Copies of this chain bind each other. A is one copy, B any other.
Amino acid sequence: MNYGRFDSAAHEYVVTRPDTPRAWSNYLGSRRYGGIVTNNAGGYSFTRSPAEGRILRHRYNSVPAEQPGRVFYLRDRDSADYWSSAWQPVAKPLDRYRTETRFGPGYADITSDYAGIKTESLYFIPLNQEFEYWRLRVTNTGTKPRRLSVFACAEFTTEWNLLNDLLNLQYTQYIGEAAWRDGFIRASSCSRLPEDKANFANRDQSRWWWMTLVGGDIAGHDCDRDSFLGSYRSYDRPLAVERGTCGNSAGFSDNTCGVIQSDIELAPGETREVLVLLGIGKSEREGRATRRKFGTAAACEKEFTALKAHWHALLETLHVETPDADFDHMTNTWGAYNALVTLEWSRSCSLVYTGEHRDGFGFRDTVQDMLGVVAMVPDIVRERLVLMLSGQDASGGAQPDVRPWLHVPGQMKPTPPGNYRSDDCLWFFNTIPAYVAETGDSAFYDEVVPFADKGKATVLGHLRRALEFNLARTGRNGLPCGLLADWNDCLKLGYKGESVFVAFQVRLGLATYAEIAGAKKLTRERSWALAELKKIDRAITRTCWDGKWFIWAIAEDGTVYGSAKAKEGRIYLNTQCWAILSGYADTNQAKSALASVKKLLASDYGVAMCAPPFAKTPVKVMRAVLFNPGNKENAGIFSHTQSWAVLAEIMAGDGDQAYDYYRSFMPSAQNDQIEKREIEPFAHCQSTHSQFSKKFGMSRVPWLSGTASWAHYTATNHILGLRPETGGLRIDPCIPSTWPGFKARRLFRGREVHVEVRNPNELNRGVSHLLVDGERIEGNLLPLSALNAVTRVIAVIGN
């Protein structure tokens, strides 16, 4: 069963049934002013920080679902019937109410037909602005004139701090104000305090926001939420809308809102437009200036065009045509967009994430989040890399998170020794080379960046420090300690317990370091890395192979996790994949490990993280036992890890199995089985209930996780195999044997490369030479020297 379809030409997803099993959402704006919008116009807005800058209130996990939002009510002044321009919140019967929502990058556009009136409500935040647009177009599709009232409605926070607004009511119900003044709703929190806009973190300041409506005859307003709604009523039938007139209430303490009523008349066939602008600042200052500049239909249309152009340009970095339209939807639009959204928002805002305790850039999350977006936003990646490198302590470990507004490189307290995680800086070995390969910016390795606490080093020096950090912290088997945690928060090995995952990460780091050092002719550095690599390989060889697969970890007390002898968590996906990704596993080990993964972990909806689920393992060593079986880290399908399984299969050469795994967690592939997935088929998710769960196939926590970045990287660089290197673009696809080939257009180093891959022999991989603008080049590297403004490459697999 589906609830919509992809419109690839428009970079849109079209929700065709509004009663999606869960609210589906999209992102608006940027950290300057951002928001969430759902397919029913639910969601919220904030500035700077979802935890500290909340403008529009949201009730999480609520009944009714995901209210309030950005509501346009319409009321027929003759019949007294009323509805909303999205199906919710009034929720007219769906046999009489037809609607669809178009989600595109940075906007939602909802078209509805009811009672002879067609509406189109568009929501977006213009580029680099601190306000949001709600544009309502109303068309009389009937044959008689119509007299309508439009009520634009938003529920405000009273304090911008999320927790106070939602739960510290004996305080925050006394500080909000909202009032109608000169055509604006003027809203504030603690209005008597001075503003201190330059210092967002200062909570002791007044905060201001505003809302205005252009179009129709302004007929009234309400600024007190409960006056508008009436007591014991909900957004499905506000008193003011039912009555047909606002109460012109002022908001003073309790709950404030912004409701503006505009009356319009429509001849048959006539369309009228109503614009709502809602933003931060004072109405008489920012509000007035914004309305003057942006308060016209033309300005709105222009901004919407610019917004789309901005996003489409980013998405144009790569365009593919493969035999799998689902794959194309993700690769050309939604996977790329999801990775960009993740880069912007980390784990701070969605219908699940509130921002609370998650308001900065989690160190390892963020370093990984860059991997998939290097090609689209290399400059942002460079800046973010420098930021994160400056979050590394001089010890080589990292600060757990970096909050740009509080982060002063060189002056942070070092992370307490017991609080280091073992993997934080190791992810640089994935991301930094990818950045350099994309841009050719090899000088980046020599750039000097301060450590978080003291001292500074070149980027290469930071990388060495990262390796030294782990090499200096090994356990009794010579493997790196897991410290507070490795990638898997849930595994508590004891501080000196050993992580096999980290062992493979260190191995990859050493190999990568040796390669960089080699390219830079730093012979001693290279030798050091290779010598350390031999040592760690010996330690791995001594202890990590269990017979059919690699073990998971060794606790401080010697307990081995992820062994065939264990009753729970017998096999762990990540160490199988990373044994291969790191180049450690030999062919037989790889084959055996992957066969075990397939047999013991794989399912139609992805590969479980481990098996069997934990039930009796003490929570103090394996916190995943908190979660229900088949959920999240307790043998659930953790989406972040899925790409590693794909990459391992690719490295082992099995493009068919790799692609099977890729499709199994690819959201778009589940568009027609939403009754299982429930959440957005156009966004990745944190996890899916595995075969060990009672809700097998059900996905949760959409959008923000480590998944999108790794998946987009895997799809583009390894399945399609369009892999930048310092010296050029490697063309090394590993595709399903059933694919006759694919076409791709990729921007690389400012040039346009058109690639046609042909697969006449139904193979997975193996390109031995390229035809570049008609010229044969041996091997599969498109060298920089061959790049023209537009370059056309033909690559035949198996030739």
Contacts and interface: CB of A to CB of B under 8 A. Distances in A.
A353 B170 contact: yes
Contact of A253 (B20, B193, B225, B689): B689
A193 B67 contact: no
A232 interface: yes
Contacts of A59: 59, 62-63
A173 B232 contact: no
Number of copies: 2
A626 B177 CA distance: 12
Interface string A336-353: 000000000000000011
A639 B88 CA distance: 42
A75 B175 CA distance: 44
A545 interface: no
A686 B166 contact: no
B63 A628 contact: no
A632 interface: yes
Contacts of A192: 614-616, 625-626
A765 to B, nearest CB: 37
A380 interface: no
Contacts of A168: 356-357
A460 interface: no
Given A619-B204, A632-B174, A64 B233 contact: yes
B190 A626 contact: yes
A695 B628 contact: no
A167 to B, nearest CB: 5
Interface in A60-105: 60-65, 67-68, 88, 91
Contact of A356 (B167, B231, B254, B625): B167
A366 interface: no
A176 to B, nearest CB: 8
Nearest to A233: B64
A170 B352 contact: yes
A231 B21 contact: yes
A627 B170 contact: no
A61 B255 contact: yes
A620 B686 CA distance: 43
A88 to B, nearest CB: 6
Given A175-B628, A632-B174, A88 B232 contact: yes
A260 interface: no
A735 B760 CA distance: 105
A628 B232 contact: no
Nearest to A63: B234
A625 B694 contact: no
Interface string A625-642: 111100110000000000
A740 to B, nearest CB: 41
A232 B166 CA distance: 22
A206 B621 CA distance: 16
A735 B233 CA distance: 45
B252 A626 contact: no
Interface in A8-41: 19-22
Nearest to A700: B173
B231 A19 contact: yes
A748 to B, nearest CB: 37
Contacts of A619: 190, 193, 204
Given A193-B626, A234-B234, A694-B252, A67 B63 contact: yes
Nearest to A190: B626
Interface string A163-183: 100111111011111000000
A62 B627 CA distance: 29
Contacts of A225: 63
A202 to B, nearest CB: 10
A61 B616 contact: no
A235 interface: yes
B353 A232 contact: no
Contact of A170 (B250, B620, B686): B686
Which of A61, A67, A91, A234 has the most chain B CB within a 10 Å cutoff? A61
A235 B63 contact: yes
Contacts of A625: 190, 192-193
Nearest to A626: B190
B169 A64 contact: no
A354 interface: yes
A559 to B, nearest CB: 18
Interface string A219-244: 00000010001011111100000000
A169 B61 contact: yes
Nearest to A636: B174
Interface in A145-179: 155, 163, 166-171, 173-177
A765 B587 CA distance: 101
Interface string A749-772: 000000000000000000000000
A262 B320 CA distance: 59
A372 B166 CA distance: 32
Nearest to A20: B231
Contacts of A267: none
A544 B168 CA distance: 36
A329 to B, nearest CB: 25
Contact of A204 (B63, B67, B357, B620): B620
Contacts of A254: 695, 700
A225 B22 CA distance: 13
A701 B175 CA distance: 15
A592 interface: no
A693 interface: yes
Contacts of A176: 628
A727 to B, nearest CB: 42
Nearest to A625: B192
Contacts of A234: 63-64, 234, 236
Which of A19, A177, A700 has the most chain B CB within a 10 Å cutoff? A700
A253 B19 contact: no
A635 to B, nearest CB: 12
B700 A63 contact: no
Nearest to A352: B169
Which of A91, A177, A631 has the most chain B CB within a 10 Å cutoff? A631
Given A61-B255, A65-B232, A163-B167, 9 more contacts: A22-B231, A63-B67, A64-B232, A167-B356, A169-B352, A169-B353, A170-B686, A176-B628, A254-B700
27 contacts: A59-B63, A60-B167, A61-B169, A61-B173, A63-B67, A63-B225, A63-B229, A64-B233, A64-B234, A91-B232, A163-B356, A167-B356, A170-B700, A174-B631, A174-B632, A174-B700, A177-B628, A192-B615, A192-B625, A192-B626, A204-B626, A234-B236, A250-B694, A252-B628, A252-B695, A253-B631, A254-B695
Pick the 5 closest A-B CB pairs, nearest first.
Answer: A174-B631, A252-B694, A64-B234, A174-B627, A204-B619
